Amino acid sequence: MLSAGASVPNVGSAQSSQIHLNSQSTTTLSIPLDASQSISDGVIPSVSVTLSYGEDIALMDNVDTVEFTNVSTSFYNDSSSVRLESIFYSSDEKSFLVNFDGNGWVVGTLGFNINNRAVVLQIPITKVSGPTQVKIKHLLSSDEEKFINGMGATYFLRYGEKEDILLKELRGDNKIQITQPTDQSGKKSDDSSKSSITELLSSPIIVMFVLLVVVLIVASKFLKGGSDSFE
């Protein structure tokens, strides 16, 4: 876990959000300080950056700090736009289905509570180009599915135009919706109906009724034929 702060002479200072950095990976931190005009004018040749890191950023006694001075600056424009549309949990796939829209690369976290137990899921780095769905495997019991149905889940996203430069951030919450297993009731109902009809047709009462109808038809023809012979 790490965060960074930047100090710019004659502009000010700011702190980034806390993020998680995986082993053997690189990332870009976003520090919300509007210094674009000063940078483009060449007023800021360098900045000072303080980096705080540790296994758990909440445990301050386990956080180390390192400072970098005379860090060079440059100007970069990012035109990406990503938004989170909806969150589903699939009973069939035992996965969360997170739907995005927009254009850019996105990574982040999805968090909620089950019986006072915090659950934080990692949204992997994903290219968003129009409607895009991300699947996050997570096993829930049927009771847990009922518990989270309609519950608000918080999300924290970092996104950007390039995969390795995620400058923008987005926080919010969205209700979790449950998608039920594929409904086979219609097919079962049809099979059940066919089975019921077969059983009904094979019952002794129906067989006797069919035989009786046949006997009456034959008898009516015989009687009709007999009366004709008397004429």
Residues in a beta bridge with 106: 126, 159
Q: How crowded is residue 137: how many other Cβ atoms within 10 Å of its Cβ? A: 9
| Least confident among 14-18, 122-126, 201-205 | 201-205
| Predicted pLDDT of residue 200 | 45
| Predicted pLDDT of residue 63 | 78
Instruction: Tell me which amino acid residue 132 is.
Output: T
Q: Is the pLDDT of residue 33 over 90?
A: no
| Predicted pLDDT of residue 58 | 62
Write a three-state SS string for 3-29: EEEEEECCCEEEECCCECCCCCCCCCC
- Which position has the higher pLDDT, 79 or 195? 79
Q: Are 92 and 98 in contact (CB under 8 A)?
A: no
| Least confident among 4-13, 34-43, 68-77, 80-89 | 34-43
Q: Is the pLDDT of residue 229 over 50?
A: no
Of 147, 160, 216, 148, the residue nearest 28 (C-alpha): 160
pLDDT digits (tens, 9 = 90+) for 82-116: 999 999 999 999 999 999 999 999 999 999 999 88
Distance CA 185, CA 54 (A): 53
Q: Is the pLDDT of residue 55 over 90?
A: no
Q: What is the mean pLDDT of residues 183-210?
A: 45
Whole-model pTM over 0.85: no
| Predicted pLDDT of residue 44 | 81
In the block, which residue shows the tokens 């915090």? 118
pLDDT digits (tens, 9 = 90+) for 136-186: 999 999 999 999 999 999 999 999 999 988 989 999 999 999 987 765 444
Q: Is the pLDDT of residue 215 over 60?
A: no
Report which secondary-structure segment, H or E, holds 214. Answer: helix 204-230
- What percent of the chain is modeled with pLDDT above 70? 75
In the block, which residue shows the tokens 């850019």? 104
pLDDT digits (tens, 9 = 90+) for 58-73: 665 567 889 999 888 8
The mean pLDDT of the chain is 79
| Predicted pLDDT of residue 182 | 61
| Predicted pLDDT of residue 210 | 43
